[in-house]
Amino acid sequence: MKSKHDSSQIAERCDSCADETPHVVSIEIRTENEHAENSAFSREPYRISTCVVCGAETGQRMNDQ
């Protein structure tokens, strides 16, 4: 049986929609302090989740889990 959601989407709670909705989830490397002298070394992986219904995006630093 095939899921009604694309395989790249996952159902998660969306605070904006106040419901569980499909989200596109990806990993992104972000520079945390672009103005610092060592900004090239202050990059961290973030889990980015975007609601397919309303477009709300959340990012969570992976090392904080």
For the segment 6-53, what is each residue's pLDDT rounded down to a tens digit? Answer: 457 899 999 999 999 999 999 999 887 777 676 666 788 999 999 999
Question: In the chain, what are the domain boundaries?
Answer: 9-64
pLDDT of 28 reads: 92
* Residue 4 pLDDT greater than 60, yes or no: no
- Which carries the bigger pLDDT value, residue 1 or residue 51? 51
* Residue 31, pLDDT score: 86
What pLDDT is recorded for position 65? 56
Which residue would you say has higher pLDDT here, 59 or 8? 59
Asked if 44 and 28 count as a contact pair (C-beta separation under 8 A), the reply is no
